[in-house]
Structure formats: structure tokens, C-alpha cells
Amino acid sequence: MLRLAAVLLVACAGCGGATLHNGVYRDEHATYRIGALPDGFRKVDVEDNDLAFHRDGDGTISVNATCTDYEDVPLAALVNHLLFETTERTFLLEETVTLDGRAARHVLVLAQLDGVTIELELYVMKKDGCVIDISHVRTARASAASRASFQRFVARFSLLEVRRDA
């Protein structure tokens, strides 16, 4: 009996962790829906992101929701924060769009990261006390289909729940 209890305790040690099931991500702070990605994208760990997916040739798509106290920072400043480690930036697109019923900053940037030219496409929004950033980091040679996949992924994003007691 004691052995069974120990097994159950170990098995449930990860029960409170983050999950992704049928396109719905859930952790102790938030629950949100993401869009589907084409076959070949695999889930990877990227520091400071809730979710990240990579496919050779198509780059890395990541999502992060920060639902803790933060100062009311303008969206443009939040975007610039995501670009801190890049240099030689050329903005190809800067616009405000609606994402999940809220204003979101959308940028497409060519930049240098450690001497390599990359293309970054970013969406940053604030909703229900959360800052959400969705990014696609790809080579400057990535295909138009790669960008279209990212756009479909973003279009399905929806913040479903925020938990303040966590």
C-alpha cells in the first residue's frame, strides 16, 4: 500500500505543470488556444516561452503569456524589448491589428543576430492583465508558405482564461 502511494505521488508530481492538448495550452497562470501548424513542426523548449515549435527551413514559432503584475507599457516598447539582442534592424512592416478582440502590434523585421540575418515576425498584445507575444524567427530565405503557416497559427489565438490566484 505504501509503495502504491509513493508511485501515485511521483506520477502526480507533474500534474500541476503546463499542458498542451488539442491546441489548448494551460498553465498555472493562463489558458489559451493556438492554431494548428503543418506537419513537421516539433515542440521544442525555448527559454522564457510557454510554447515553441520548430521545423527545419521554417524556423521557430513561439508563444508566451506573462500574466503577472507589469507596468502599463506601450505595445511599441514591448516589441522593442523582444528585439534587444538584435542589431542592424530594418522594419519591413509595422502596424496595429486586432487579435483576439484587442489591439496588437504586428511587426516584420530583418535583423542581425550574432552576425546572421534573420527575419522576425512579432505580434504583441495586452489582454486581461497579460502581455502576450507570438513570434516567428526564420531565415531571411524562408518561404512564403512558412509565413502563411504562421499567420494561420496567430489567427486562431484566443486567451481563454487568466488565473489570478496562482
79: helix, coil or strand? helix
pTM of the predicted protein model: 0.85
Instruction: Tell me the pLDDT tens digit for each residue of 95-140.
Output: 999 999 999 999 999 999 999 999 999 999 999 989 999 999 998 7
CB 65 within 8 A of CB 130: yes
For position 3, what pLDDT does the model report? 35
For position 9, what pLDDT does the model report? 32
Q: Which three cell numbers stand for residue 40?
A: 513537421
Q: Strands, DSSP E only, in 67-156?
A: 87-99, 102-113, 116-127, 130-139
Q: Strands, DSSP E only, in the chain?
A: 19-21, 24-26, 30-33, 42-43, 51-55, 59-66, 87-99, 102-113, 116-127, 130-139, 158-162
Mean pLDDT of the region 66-92: 89
Q: In the sheet that 158-162 helps form, which strands lie side by side, from edge to edge?
A: 19-21, 24-26, 30-33, 158-162
Instruction: Tell me the pLDDT tens digit for each residue of 15-41.
Output: 458 999 999 999 999 999 999 998 999
User: Exposed/middle/buried for 132, CB within 10 Å: 0-12, 13-18, 19+?
Assistant: buried
Spell out the domain ranges in the chain.
2-162
Comparing CA positions, the residue from 16, 33, 14 lying closest to residue 24 is: 33
CATH class of 2-162: alpha beta
Neighbouring C-beta atoms of residue 147, cutoff 10 Å: 16
